[in-house]
Amino acid sequence: MQFCSFQNQSIHYQYLPGAGVRNFVFANSLGTDFRIWDEVVTRLLPHGSVLRFDKPGHGLSESGSGGGVEWYGQLVLALMDAHGIDRCVFVGLSIGGLMGQWLALRHPKRIEKLVLSNTAARIGELPYWIDRIATIKAGGIAPLADMILGRWLAPSFLQNNTATVAGMKRMLEGCALPGYVQACATLRDTDFSGQLQSISLPTLCIAGNADGAIPLADMETLAAVIPAASLRVLEGVGHIPCVEVPKIFADAVLDFVHSKLSV
Ligand SMILES: O=C(O)CC1=CCC(=O)O1
């Protein structure tokens, strides 16, 4: 188990040295911990090292006052620095994709290639996050868990993978409220609309057309606005493709990483 202290908060992370020259850094979605990348990581390790982490209040990270897209981005940079990672292939899912956009805009030299999975320049509307925060503060996560799983997972996956779904529900309900609420507040407050045309990095956008949280149109806009972006749409896949179709996800990342696309 690996932990570090970042701004007085205990952060759970994992650094796995890999065989290849690349460094893959993963950033999670709201309510999930870094285990969602397990099967993708197994496939990427022959190609490079892996760094992944739990946001405050998620997984084994402490649930303190840390949060905000810049705070999360600085945490990523600190973890990279601690492991001598100068540049990485950054793979961000949902709110993790917002961290990727922040890094690509503010610290582009630290990113070799960018993978934005199931994310957008702005995720959801302001009233949606205000309401989610108020409901969670009043009653906790459990009463919303089934609704959230319906946003996360495609209907066919929900129906056919009951053991995995039960495990993911426990992962979600295990989040500590302050950290979870901080992440919701980050989603409420972050909007990169109007800025993304200045991202100059090769970028792969991955969408699922059964995503219950991010409309496909938002991913299409993201891929259209970032100059060197391409879009891969996964048919019948929901918000967390690294869990639903890890082999397809890993292959998409590897094809992108090995492609000659550069700017
Ligand atoms: O929890 C959800 O509704 C899904 C989600 C939205 C942003 C994110 O990171 O996850």
pLDDT (0 to 100) of residue 51: 98
By C-alpha distance, which of 199, 263, 259, 210 is closest to 239?
A: 210
Q: How far is the CA of 206 from the centre of ligand 1 (A)?
A: 15
**CB of residue 29 inside a 6 A radius of ligand 1:** yes
Stretches where the chain sits below pLDDT 50 are: 263
3-state secondary structure of 89: strand
pLDDT (0 to 100) of residue 261: 58
**CB of residue 117 inside a 6 A radius of ligand 1:** no
Cβ-based neighbours of 137, under 8 Å, separated by 6 or more: 177, 181
**CB of residue 213 inside a 6 A radius of ligand 1:** yes
**CB of residue 69 inside a 6 A radius of ligand 1:** no
Shortest-distance Cα residue to atom 2 of ligand 1: 148
**CB of residue 92 inside a 6 A radius of ligand 1:** no
pLDDT (0 to 100) of residue 263: 46
pLDDT (0 to 100) of residue 18: 87
Q: How far is the CA of 103 from the centre of ligand 1 (A)?
A: 20
Overall fold of domain 2-257: Rossmann fold (3.40.50)
CA dihedral 20, 36, 164, 39 (to 10 degrees): 0
Q: How far is the CA of 15 from the centre of ligand 1 (A)?
A: 25
**CB of residue 149 inside a 6 A radius of ligand 1:** no
3-state secondary structure of 191: coil
Q: What is the CA radius of gyration of the chain?
A: 17
pTM above 0.95, yes or no: yes
pLDDT (0 to 100) of residue 64: 84
Q: How far is the CA of 53 from the centre of ligand 1 (A)?
A: 17
Cβ-in-10-Å burial (0-12, 13-18, 19+) of 263 comes to: exposed
Q: How far is the CA of 28 from the centre of ligand 1 (A)?
A: 10
**CB of residue 151 inside a 6 A radius of ligand 1:** yes
Mean pLDDT, all residues of the chain:
97
Complex ipTM > 0.90: yes
